[in-house]
Amino acid sequence: MAGAWGRAELQDFRSRVRGVVLGTAVGDALGAPLDGLTAEEIVAAHGPEGLTAPVPAYGRLGAVTGVTQLSLFTVDGLIRAQVRRDTGAWHPPSDLYRAWRRWTATQDDWGPDERRKDDGWLAREEWLYARRAPHGPTLLALRGKTMGTPAGPRNPGERGPHAAARSAAFGLLVGWEPRLVAQLAVECATQTHGHPTAYLAAGAYAVTVHGLARGEALPQALRTAIGAIAPWPGHQEVTGALTAALEADEEPLAPLEADAGADEVLAAAVRCVRDGEDVRHALCLAVNLGGPASVTGALTGGLLGALHGETALPPAWLAEIEGRPTLVVLADDFAVEMTQGPALHGPSYASPGWLARYPRGPRAED
């Protein structure tokens, strides 16, 4: 999809971007009421088939967790990184770090008049200030004064799936080579997750989304992802789990524990996409595995959205998603920036409205 974009390509790309953003939220919201439950407890509460349709969490139907919140700030950070290229100061990991710190600020105790009003539009969205089970180690790392890197990662023992769950948007950089997508996702994941299993799962997930968004079938996208992270030290858990997911025949999906590693959760999401009879079935398979249900649902939803686009997502489930207008606008802004950015900000013209939405310069405290 590099080079000039035709009308059909633009429409397809926008549908897949929306699919990833909305699919992540749908899977997250479906799993939110099940977080921390075992597969047996889910069956006891919802019947022999487990959960088959959305139920309320956090007092409403369609409530999302911190997984979706962080995913949105990932999209915002990538847009702003692209906008900042005009300044000559282009370092996407730093832009993502600042974006995730903007999310961290929403999780503090603010009065309505104290919240940020001068740093882009996303941080002004009131619904994002709800605390929805934010991942503790992630918050701790992002509240630090130094940014984690592959050479000096934060939380070196953290091998969970939360870094992967916020990383789908890296895969929407469809003009990039897969190895560069993996490198960016890995570098950004080390800002909060320092174990190779966690940050390489983030890289593999991003590359899988990348392949699907470019029109590849799931097996091809997975093989590319496995190849993209194989040169990294410590890849064996992730590449082994994804290879097993790709080659599994009739083996039943194993339930997930609450502390499941990123390799297990990502492989389970891949199996759900591969084995699901349709989008609804795949999402229900994912969340009924138990453990980190919202994360497994989000990973599965992101893959399904990249594979099929927004129109494949269940409309009745989408209609209830919290913050849906924000999700749609942000997804469309991402698609516009990545395909037509020079018309919005370039040497001859810069749209004041666009730069107000996605400022070029970081705030001093960032």
pLDDT at 3 over 60: no
Q: Tell me what the mean pLDDT of segment 184-202 comes to.
A: 98
How does residue 364 score in pLDDT terms, banded at 50, 70 and 90?
Answer: very low
Range picked from 100-109, 116-125, 183-192 for highest mean pLDDT: 183-192
Q: Which position has the higher pLDDT, 94 or 116? A: 94
**When comparing pLDDT for 168 and 144, which is higher?**
168
DSSP run (H or E) holding 333: helix 324-340
Percentage of the chain exceeding pLDDT 70: 95
Task: Find, among 76, 65, 67, the residue nearest to 130 by Cα.
Answer: 65
Domain that holds residue 209: 23-357
Q: How many residues does the chain have?
A: 366
- The model's pTM is 0.96
What the block records as the tokens of 128 is: 């994002």
| Residue 12 domain flag | no
Number of neighbours of residue 26 by Cβ within 10 angstroms: 33
Domain membership flag for residue 72: yes
- How many domains, the chain? 1
Mean pLDDT, residues 217-234: 98
pLDDT at position 88 is: 75
pLDDT for res 2:
43
> pLDDT, tens digit, for every residue of 236-260?
999 999 999 999 987 889 999 999 9
More confident position, 55 or 364: 55
Residue 165 lies in a domain: yes
Q: Cα(282)–Cα(273) distance, rounded to whole angstroms?
A: 5
Q: What is the pLDDT of residue 117?
A: 55
User: What is the structure's pLDDT at 114?
Assistant: 52
User: Do the Cβ atoms of 262 and 161 come closer than 8 Å?
Assistant: yes
Distance CA 279, CA 287 (A): 13
> Among 99-108, 159-168, 221-230, whose mean pLDDT is lowest?
99-108
Domain of residue 264, CATH code: 1.10.4080.10
Position 95 scores a pLDDT of 96
Confidence band for 165, pLDDT divided at 50, 70 and 90? very high
Alpha carbon distance 314, 10 (integer Å): 23
Residue 306 in this model has a pLDDT that exceeds 80: yes
DSSP notation for 95-147: HHHHHHHHHHHHTS---TTTS--SS-SGGG-GGGGS-----HHHHHHHTSSS-
Note whether residue 18 is domain-resident: no
The pLDDT assigned to 112 comes to 55
Please name the residue ranges forming H helices in 166-233: 178-189, 196-213, 218-229
Q: pLDDT band at 1, cuts 50/70/90?
A: very low
In which residue are the tokens 């009003």 written? 117
pLDDT above 90 for 83: yes
Q: How far apart are the first and last CA of the chain?
A: 34
DSSP 8-state code for residue 319: T
DSSP states of 149-190 as a string? -SSS-SSTT---SHHHHT-GGGGG-TTS-HHHHHHHHHHHHT
The answer to whether the beta carbons of residues 137 and 126 sit under 8 Å apart is no
Instruction: Band the pLDDT of 310: cuts 50, 70, 90.
Output: very high
Mean pLDDT of all residues in 53-57: 98
| Mean pLDDT across 261-277 | 97
Q: Give the mean pLDDT of the chain.
A: 94
**Helix-, strand-, coil-residue percentages of the chain, each rounded to 5:** 60, 0, 40
**Best mean pLDDT range from 74-88, 134-148, 283-297:** 283-297
Distance CA 291, CA 190 (A): 23
DSSP state of 124: G
- Amino acid at position 110, single letter: W
